[in-house]
Amino acid sequence: MTEKPDALMLLAPGCPHCPGVLEGLSRLLKEGVIGRLEAVNVEVHPGRAQELGVRGVPWVRIGPYELEGAVTLDELRRWAEADESLDGLAAYFLDLLKTGRRAKVEALARQKPERLQALVQLLADPEASMAVRLGIGAVLEEFQGTPVGQAMVPGLGELTRHSDRLVRADACHFLSLIGGEEIRPIMEACLDDPDPEVREIAAETLEANPPPVP
C-alpha cells in the first residue's frame, strides 16, 4: 500500500477562508487521501508560524507542497495525490518559479537533491518560458560548487541530445554551472553538435575545467 502524505495546516480565529480549507483537509483525511492532519491555531502557538516562516493563513503543507490562501478541495486533492512524483514536483516547481519563489525550490532541493530532477523535466519542454529557464539557471548558480546539483547531471546529459537546439544549449550551460569530472565526457560529445552555440558552450566549459594532472 502506498504511504499517504501527512498534512499540516496553520489557521487563526476570524480567518474567512480557514474553515473551508480545514473542512477540505478533514474530508481528505476521512477518505484516506492523507494519512494524518495536524491543525495549529497560530494565535495560541505563534512560534509555529515563525518557525515555518509563515506570514498569513490559511497555510497548508501536504507532503513537500506548501499552499497558501483559499485552496479548494480539488486543489488539496491534486497535491495530496501528486505525492512526490516527478510530475507533481515539476508542476509545483513551475508554479514556484513563475511566481518568484525560487528560494522554496532551493530549500526543497537541499532537503533532497534528487528533487532537482523535476527541473530537468521542465527544461525538456522547448516551450518553457524564459522566466522558467532563468529560474532554473539561478537555482543551479546557488548550488554551484556543491554536490546538490549533481542530481541533475544524468538528466541534463540526456537533454544534450534533445532534438531542439535551445534545449541542448541550455542543458550544456546548466552542466557547466554544475561542473565536476562527470560532465567532461558529455561536454566532449557536445563538441560535435550541429549547433554552433552548443559547440561553443562545450568548448568554453572544457577549457575552463581542464582535466586533473595525473
Q: Do 39 and 120 sit in the same domain of this protein?
A: no
Please check whether residue 200 lies inside any domain of the structure: yes
Nearest to 116 by CA among 145, 83, 151: 151
In 97-112, which positions are buried (b, 16+ CB within 10 angstroms) versus exposed (e)? Answer: beeeebebbbebbeee
Predicted local confidence at residue 211, as pLDDT: 81
CA distance 5 to 32: 10
Domain boundary among 29, 50, 82: 82
pLDDT reading at 122 higher than 60: yes
Predicted local confidence at residue 210, as pLDDT: 83
Average pLDDT of span 76-103? 93
CA distance 184 to 7: 43
pLDDT reading at 1 higher than 80: no
Please check whether residue 1 lies inside any domain of the structure: no
Percentage of the chain surpassing pLDDT 70? 98
* Overall domain count for the chain: 2
Average pLDDT of span 180-201? 96
pLDDT reading at 10 higher than 80: yes
Q: Do 35 and 140 sit in the same domain of this protein?
A: no
First to last CA, the chain: 51
Q: Do 24 and 70 sit in the same domain of this protein?
A: yes
Q: Do 29 and 48 sit in the same domain of this protein?
A: yes
H helix or E strand, kind and range, residue 11: strand 6-11
pLDDT reading at 2 higher than 80: no
The domain that holds 37 is classified in CATH as 3.40.30.10
Domain boundary among 47, 82, 117: 82
Q: Do 29 and 132 sit in the same domain of this protein?
A: no
Q: Do 114 and 204 sit in the same domain of this protein?
A: yes
pLDDT reading at 83 higher than 90: no
pLDDT reading at 191 higher than 70: yes
Q: What range does the domain containing 10 cover? A: 6-82
Q: Do 61 and 112 sit in the same domain of this protein?
A: no
Task: Name the packing angle between helices 86-98 and 102-111 (round to 10°).
Answer: 150
Provide the pLDDT confidence category of residue 134 given band limits of 50, 70 and 90.
very high
Nearest to 146 by CA among 190, 111, 178, 119: 178
Question: Which position has the higher pLDDT, 84 or 187?
Answer: 187
Q: Report the chain's mean pLDDT, rounded to a whole number.
A: 94
CA distance 134 to 139: 9
Q: Degrees (nearest 5) of the Cα angle 154, 157, 158?
A: 95
Task: Name the packing angle between helices 165-178 and 196-208 (round to 10°).
Answer: 10
For 146-188, write each residue's pLDDT tens digit: 899 999 999 999 999 999 999 999 999 999 999 889 999 999 9
* Beta-bridge partners for 8: 38, 61
Domain boundary among 35, 52, 82: 82
Average pLDDT of span 98-103? 92
**What sign results for the dihedral spanned by CA atoms 73, 129, 98, 95?**
positive
Q: Do 165 and 151 sit in the same domain of this protein?
A: yes
